[in-house]
Structure 1
Amino acid sequence: MAAILTSLRNTVIAGCVLAAILLIMYFVWDGQAGQLFWAFIFRWLHVISGVMWIGLLWYFNFVQIPKMPSIPDDQKPAISKVIAPEALFWFRWGAMSTIVTGLILAHLNGYLGDALTLGAMNDFMVHKHTAIGIGMWLGIIMWFNVWFVIWPNQKIALGLVDAPADAKPAAGRTAMLFSRTNTLLSIPMLFAMVSAQNIY
């Protein structure tokens, strides 16, 4: 067991194997690979991606950003040169995967257009489509912030691209403010997503 748990790669493989066993059980119990099955698969991938994305967003905002001022200057490069670039890699690709799988899921379930227009395409309002649409738009705004504001500014702040030294503090502040914006938006976004599945 230690050979599995001391290696992240082996841990993830073991988790995938267990998920594959559950998938086999589904097919043994007369499961079929129809539309509902693929909608489930993309919902599962959407949730996994979202956990990676929002988990890292909350790590940055609840742990890393508040604790950076208390880290001695000689130890800060460990965060800015090693941990932050790796965390930002998984953060931005978690965001991309969450958006892509979410849009595919909405298409498979037949409400993509209704959700993106907040139900305006119908003659009557479907509250579920409005709720999921609000969640989708908040998620899209957050994704945009990650890829087109936070990541470009973090590259400057962390010194991953050539930029004047005096540009780093402003870039860091911009990245932080948009990260905090995403933290703010994540709370109603998750409310809208979960309410669409449970109360409408």
Structure 2
Amino acid sequence: MYDFVVLGEWLEFAVRWTHVITAIAWIGSSFYFIALDLGLFPSTDRRAGVHGEAWQVHGGGFYFIQKYMVAPARMPDELTWFKWESYSTWLTGFAMLILVYYVGAEFYLVDPEVLDIPTWQAILISLGSLIFGWFAYDLICKSRFGDDNRRLMVALYIILVGLAWAYTQVFSGRAAFLHLGALTATIMSGNVFMTIIPNQKIVTADLIAQRTPDPKFGKIAKQRSTHNNYLTLPVIFLMLSNHYPLAFATEYNWIIASIVFLMGVTIRHYFNSVHARKGNPHWTWAATVILFLVIVWLSAIGAPRAAETEAAELKGAALRYASADGFEEVTWIVQGRCSMCHAAEPVWDGLYWPPKGVVLETAEQIAKEARRITVQAGLSHAMPPANLSYMEPAEREAIVAWFRAANG
């Protein structure tokens, strides 16, 4: 079991690394094409079907790019499809959801202080919300209501606010933010997989068959691409938020998540306006700063909840760690070396809340954080940072020995 824990940590690292790489590729290409599309000039030679064109310079070379509003008169011999970046990002993200929040559901997904439910129920709710969220969004977009894109986006925002509240009533704050981001990312990838690429394939098939493509397919794909454009930045924030308890472990966490979506709109509006040469709306940055300061204020008056990392009772894996040989010694070690910072009210100068929301004051809390304690302070010397509390090598060995004893 001990060896599997080490392997699991590296597997999680590898998947996370891959997820970041693919996300960079997807977001980078997405932002590039949005900027390109908005910045096109009318075609100088007015060739049939050419909607716009642009000259660009990069890496010592010059590029001449043309966009056809529907499609070119004939299919080119080579055609690059931008889809695998999206698919790979979603697949690796879902793998991370399994490795962290499903495998570690007792610690990261379920918070008895929020809703005391079995882990299997929490996992089913998680999966169900992602599936239901996509199909509900897709149906709204395809309805007559979705014909007005501005009206549609206002309605979608209201729905996202409702989902932010709902997730915080079911999962831990950390998991609630992660799931809101995962649902948004599912919508974005679903747009690519279920709408944008299929529509482009229909147009391609028409060209090959020498039929005139229907422009409605491009219009629909454009709508979904616009949604993805405005959702990207909030998703990044929500995915990074699990490292910052002031965002997720506060009383007003669902309001904070809701405001993040507005910040994504203001930031993207600025860049979209500049790329489309429609002015330089500096007010968007002022609005973004104000929204961010509101988030800071909400996090301060909400205060991180220590209950975020503590269950009402020991159960499952935590009970196993609490009854393993060496637990009493480890409890003394952790309380002596770690709890001055990892406390509901830290006594270390400059700290006003427990780092990462992890509280290690009681035996129950220590048992629940067994894996992280072992990885951070036993297998590595990451904690205490710079060994400020002078944890001895023998104490680190005791932590590892206790973890091994608990896992056979």
**TM-score, normalised on structure 1?**
0.67
Residue matched to 2:39: 67
**CA deviation vs aligned residue, 1:20-50 (integer Å, no higher than 9, x gap):** xxxxxxxxxxxx9521111010000000011
**CA deviation vs aligned residue, 1:137-171 (integer Å, no higher than 9, x gap):** 11111111001111122234xx421164250x222
| Structure with greater strand share of residues | 2
| Structure with greater helix share of residues | 1
Q: Distance in 2 between matches of 1:123 and 1:166?
A: 47
Q: Distance in 2 between matches of 1:176 and 1:48?
A: 25
Q: Distance in 2 between matches of 1:108 and 1:62?
A: 35
Q: Distance in 2 between matches of 1:58 and 1:122?
A: 31
Residue matched to 2:237: 191
**CA deviation vs aligned residue, 1:43-93 (integer Å, no higher than 9, x gap):** 000000111111111111122x113453444476855667x942xx2x311
> Pairwise mapping of residues 160-171 of structure 1 onto structure 2 (< 5 A)?
160-162=204-206, 164-165=211-212, 167=214, 169-171=215-217
2:154 is the alignment partner of 1:108: no
Residue matched to 2:201: 155
The 1:124–1:162 alpha-carbon spacing in structure 2 relative to 1, beyond 3 Å, is closer
Higher relative contact order (CA 8 A, sep 6+): 1
Paired residues, what number?
A: 161
> Pairwise mapping of residues 167-186 of structure 1 onto structure 2 (< 5 A)?
167=214, 169-186=215-232
The 1:121–1:133 alpha-carbon spacing in structure 2 relative to 1, beyond 3 Å, is closer
Residue matched to 1:138: 184
Q: Distance in 1 between matches of 2:241 and 2:167?
A: 21
Q: Distance in 2 between matches of 1:110 and 1:171?
A: 38
Q: Distance in 1 between matches of 2:167 and 2:223?
A: 35
Q: Distance in 2 between matches of 1:106 and 1:135?
A: 11
Alignment gaps of 5+ in structure 2:
54-64, 69-74, 104-122, 130-162, 249-408
Residue matched to 1:38: 11
Larger CA Rg, structure 1 vs 2: 2
Question: How much has 1:110 moved relative to structure 2?
Answer: 3.3
The 1:151–1:141 alpha-carbon spacing in structure 2 relative to 1, beyond 3 Å, is same
Q: Distance in 1 between matches of 2:235 and 2:168?
A: 23
**TM-score, normalised on structure 2?**
0.35
The 1:71–1:195 alpha-carbon spacing in structure 2 relative to 1, beyond 3 Å, is farther
After superposition, the CA RMSD in angstroms is 3.3
Q: Distance in 2 between matches of 1:192 and 1:100?
A: 17
2:22 is the alignment partner of 1:49: yes
Q: Distance in 1 between matches of 2:185 and 2:87?
A: 10
Check conservation: 2:126, 2:179, Cα contact below 8 A: yes
Amino acid at match of 1:145: N
